Chain A
Amino acid sequence: MMSPAARSGQSTENIMHWVLLATLPGGLALTWQFGWGVPINVLLCSLCALACEAMALRLRGRPVGFHLRDCSALVTAIFLGLALPPLVPWWVVAIACSCSIIIAKQLYGGLGNNPCNPAMVGYATVLLCFPEQMSRWLTPQTLLPEGLYQPGLWQSIHLVIGGGDLIDGITGATPLEVLKHKTGLMIEQVYASEPIFNRASWAGAGWEWVNLGFLAGGLLLLRKGIFSWHAPLMMLVSLSLMALFYWDAGSSASHGSPLFHLFSGASMMGAFFILTDPVSSATSIRGKLIYGAMIGVLVFSIRSWGDYPDALAFAILLANFAAPTIDRYAAPRTFGHSAKRNGVRPEEDQ
């Protein structure tokens, strides 16, 4: 190595630590609304992910401690733990986690080489394989009747390990599900009749706070310069524009307002934590803009016309596959060159 060691002081570990810290507001909001299931998910995921990572690194003959210390496995685990529905059986968590770490990350060559976001691969796998368990979201705390609480710590552990049935009345539809199955009602009517909307402050009860939490964490990372604004902002803008375009004045054909889309489901978490995963996203500035816009459009399309009420995972995975091509076409003009040289060029003849 010839280059001297003068460095800016930023490091991969440091970045990962900031990302972990920034998930706190969103995670706390989730815990407040959905109870002990959330921290249990996060803990299970973390243990499982670290174990999988250590095992895979060992099998690949890489220094385990050195690579574990970059905290990337922990970041994946926490994203996954926050994305999975609370109180989902432990084996669903384990399968999701091992898919994330072993298949989506280590089999491709570890950190930096995975084409797709590992957390989203794990999430999509279990969403496709275990739709029943994965569609079982709890009713947010805000909507629970007086005197009824989310299951306590021991009961939660019991439910996760033993897999017992949830008490009726705690499970409930998410705002996206409610709006999807509104069957010909006008938006105003849905908002008037459904408690998840009429008891909400501005979007969907419970979920609005969760999204606000992730937004706060995201803004912190933005301020710390962990990622640039391009991809998240473009995703939120394109999602809003799509919602506005199909708003249809709140008629029975409407798919919900921009505000509703921004603060429902995994919008904010996706925009600030999953989209900004540098490994699997586009890297040039223009590439990031295109990548973000593409995800916004896909999220809205799948939410509105697809089978899944929220499909951020699918939108992101599709865009992940597109990212290298986007980068290829969105490369900046090199200084001193008159025209861009991008796109696929024919092999030079020898």
Chain B
Amino acid sequence: MSRIWETPGGIYPPANKRQSLSLPIDYPQLPERLVVPLDQHAGRPCRACVEVGQQVLKGELIGVVDGALGAAVHAPSSGTVTAIEPRPAGRLSGRPARCIEIATDGLERWTRRPCVADYRQMSAPQLVDRIAQSGIAGMGGGGFPTAAKLTPNGLPPIATIIVNATECEPYVTADESLMRERACEIIQGIDILAHIHGNRARLVIGIEQSKPEALAALRAACAKSAMEIVEIPRKYPSGGERQLIYALTGKELPSGDIPANIGVICINVATVYAIKRAVIDGEPLISRVVTVTGGACATQRNYQALIGTPIKHLLRHSGVNNNRLNQLIMGGSISGFKLPSDEVPVVKTSYCILAPDIDEFAPAPPERACIRCGRCAEVCPASLLPQQLLWHAKAANHQQLEEHNLVDCIECSACNYVCPSHIPLVDYYRAGKVHIDAARQVKSNAAQARQRFEFRQLRLARLEREQSQRRAARRSAAVPSNAPRAPVARLSSADIIAAAQNRAASKQPTVEQTLDKLQRNISTLQNRLELAEQRLVAASDDPLNKQNSLRAAVEGARQKLQRAEQRLTEQAHG
């Protein structure tokens, strides 16, 4: 039995999971229209690579990655593209997302599926590429592209692969039903992950004790392998990435770091399943298991729903009673958020749609003043001081918010849950984070402009200096000789024109020009390195993560400088 470390804080809300677990995963009818957002992951939205009116096949690429941390988007079913436009999306910000609407033809014609007979014959980069091609992004809610997670550049080798099977949020059973019914495929997915990392990493599945059936299914499926299944006590939010890593390894992920920094990969069980489907069956991520639950639903169960299925479609399938419906929530009852409408589609990160009835969730009582009772601090999994944060968030005091480590808030909403004054604390924190980001953007733009200006000033001063030095050298060389000056070859105007035409004709810069440019480049980089080093020295009292980032900046500048110098020598000699 592996040791379990106890995480700070946490709450024990009623689980409310039994309702949706009595029936197996169901496949709903194909909806007439699928609305597939191009923005279902952490990075920038994808670029649509289809046009309105175009026929698409099931699994065909319709959105290509555009920028870092993107995940490709595929057509969930065959049909015709009918619109590419912003639509309401189930996002926290409430902003609409650019979506591709597909009118399904009901034929479910597949595109070619690159099935693999034995993935063990494939190299790690090939497998990661397969995963990237399949558009897999963290399905536990984060939406972090899995391919990026699996290939952390320049970081220590992965020592531990943690499969997050905790699913601590009340009402949500998508992962649990997946584990009960498809444990073997999940284990295959984990094997693929292990293979990618050379079968050297420790494999741990972290699962809450409150899921005996899922536990038994996993145990049976991985009986022969070296996987560890670690039961952790039920507590919300034990499934937070930082919390789970600590509970299973005793390592606290430093603030601002990704798990790979400490040699850990933490991956959701639904994502692992998607990896198996992508590698072995050649299916891109076009559907997922989503829980549809809440007292307003006639049947509460899990659906294998196509990405892009309007939740209205699923709710109708579940026989939701609109008269009893209190509110519509994306996610669970604690950390979920209210949906603006039932038009929004299921995306890669939607694990639950909660339609509670009026008796289930009483209307939110009015917010009262904070009496500083400190219950929020007791339950905070990040050991923050939520009531101080609230105070500073209300006052829009950004400096104090940063000082109280607002960035470390994982928005689990445990504080909301216990607050006797019914204050939606996390709403204030989210607003605070948005404001801080905006202010930082403005500041960084200004800093960049100033830096550019300073570089220019430095460069001009240096050029001036060099020029005057050259002049002085020429003068000192000219004065003692006293010899009559050699007649300067007078160029005729025709010659000058010819020379200019020559120059214009050969668009290629001369060697001197290139060298000069490289020189300039080097001096800029030298200045930048100096500045970065100064900043690092000045920041010796600052917290470690800030120092680390500055150190990384210095290192980056140094490498750039080295490359530039290398290029210069190459140019000079070649």
The CA of A110 and the CA of B371, in the complex, are separated in Å by 10
Q: Which listed residue, B8, B255, B365, B377, touches A337 by the CB 8 Å rule? A: B255
Q: Are B170 and A1 in contact (CB under 8 A)?
A: no
Q: Are B385 and A15 in contact (CB under 8 A)?
A: no
Task: Please give, as numbers and ranges, the residues of chain A lying within 8 Å of B544 by CB-CB distance.
Answer: 338-339
The CA of A336 and the CA of B255, in the complex, are separated in Å by 5
In the complex, chain B residues 354-394 whose Cβ is within 8 Å of any chain A Cβ: 354, 356, 361-366, 368-375, 377-378, 381-385, 387-388
Q: Are B413 and A3 in contact (CB under 8 A)?
A: yes
Q: Which listed residue, A283, A337, A338, A347, touches B374 by the CB 8 Å rule? A: A283
The CA of A327 and the CA of B327, in the complex, are separated in Å by 39
The CA of A279 and the CA of B361, in the complex, are separated in Å by 29
CB distance from A82 to the nearest CB of B (A): 21
CB distance from B375 to the nearest CB of A (A): 8
Taken residue by residue from 266 to 279, chain A's Cβ proximity to chain B (1 for < 8 Å, 0 otherwise) reads as 00000000000011
CB distance from A339 to the nearest CB of B (A): 7
Q: Are B371 and A111 in contact (CB under 8 A)?
A: yes
Q: Are B369 and A112 in contact (CB under 8 A)?
A: yes
Verify if B265 is at the interface (C-beta below 8 Å from A): no
Verify if B487 is at the interface (C-beta below 8 Å from A): no
Task: Please give, as numbers and ranges, the residues of chain A lying within 8 Å of B336 by CB-CB distance.
Answer: 4
The CA of A227 and the CA of B329, in the complex, are separated in Å by 33
Q: Are A283 and B371 in contact (CB under 8 A)?
A: no
Q: Which listed residue, A11, A110, A112, A335, touches B8 by the CB 8 Å rule? A: A335
The CA of A331 and the CA of B384, in the complex, are separated in Å by 8
* Chain A residue at smallest Cβ distance from B366: A66
Verify if A341 is at the interface (C-beta below 8 Å from B): yes
Q: What DSSP secondary structure best describes chain A's contact surface? A: loop
Task: Please give, as numbers and ranges, the residues of chain B lying within 8 Å of A66 by CB-CB distance.
Answer: 366
CB distance from B129 to the nearest CB of A (A): 32
Counting chain B residues whose Cβ lies within 8 A of the other chain, the interface size class is 35 or more
Verify if A14 is at the interface (C-beta below 8 Å from B): yes
The CA of A89 and the CA of B246, in the complex, are separated in Å by 62
Task: Please give, as numbers and ranges, the residues of chain B lying within 8 Å of A183 by CB-CB distance.
Answer: none
Q: Are A7 and B422 in contact (CB under 8 A)?
A: yes
In the complex, chain A residues 41-85 whose Cβ is within 8 Å of any chain B Cβ: 66, 70, 72
CB distance from A260 to the nearest CB of B (A): 32
Q: Are A334 and B382 in contact (CB under 8 A)?
A: yes
* Chain B residue at smallest Cβ distance from A226: B373
Verify if A193 is at the interface (C-beta below 8 Å from B): no
Q: Are A4 and B420 in contact (CB under 8 A)?
A: no
Q: Are A334 and B92 in contact (CB under 8 A)?
A: no
Task: Please give, as numbers and ranges, the residues of chain B lying within 8 Å of A2 by CB-CB distance.
Answer: 92, 94, 337-338, 424, 427, 430
Task: Please give, as numbers and ranges, the residues of chain A lying within 8 Å of B377 by CB-CB distance.
Answer: 283-285, 332
Verify if B408 is at the interface (C-beta below 8 Å from A): yes
CB distance from A334 to the nearest CB of B (A): 4
Task: Please give, as numbers and ranges, the residues of chain A lying within 8 Å of B363 by CB-CB distance.
Answer: 5
The CA of A338 and the CA of B408, in the complex, are separated in Å by 13
Task: Please give, as numbers and ranges, the residues of chain A lying within 8 Å of B210 by CB-CB distance.
Answer: none
* Chain B residue at smallest Cβ distance from A336: B255
Q: Are A3 and B337 in contact (CB under 8 A)?
A: yes
Task: Please give, as numbers and ranges, the residues of chain B lying within 8 Å of A339 by CB-CB distance.
Answer: 543-544
The CA of A323 and the CA of B242, in the complex, are separated in Å by 31
Q: Are B399 and A348 in contact (CB under 8 A)?
A: yes
Q: Are A11 and B385 in contact (CB under 8 A)?
A: no
* Chain A residue at smallest Cβ distance from B246: A335
The CA of A333 and the CA of B254, in the complex, are separated in Å by 12
Task: Please give, as numbers and ranges, the residues of chain A lying within 8 Å of B543 by CB-CB distance.
Answer: 337-339, 341
Taken residue by residue from 1 to 28, chain A's Cβ proximity to chain B (1 for < 8 Å, 0 otherwise) reads as 1111111101110110000000000000
Verify if B416 is at the interface (C-beta below 8 Å from A): yes
Q: Are A4 and B427 in contact (CB under 8 A)?
A: no
Q: Are B252 and A284 in contact (CB under 8 A)?
A: no
Verify if B11 is at the interface (C-beta below 8 Å from A): yes
Listed by A's residue number, 22 A-B pairs whose Cβ atoms lie within 8 Å are A2-B424, A3-B416, A3-B426, A3-B427, A4-B336, A5-B361, A5-B363, A6-B334, A7-B362, A10-B418, A12-B368, A228-B378, A283-B385, A284-B374, A284-B385, A331-B385, A335-B381, A335-B408, A337-B255, A337-B408, A341-B403, A341-B405
- A-B contacts besides A10-B418, A284-B374, 7 pairs, CB < 8 Å: A3-B424, A5-B361, A5-B364, A111-B369, A278-B371, A331-B404, A333-B383
Q: Top 7 nearest A-B pairs by Cβ distance?
A: A112-B369, A6-B333, A336-B255, A283-B374, A278-B373, A5-B364, A334-B405
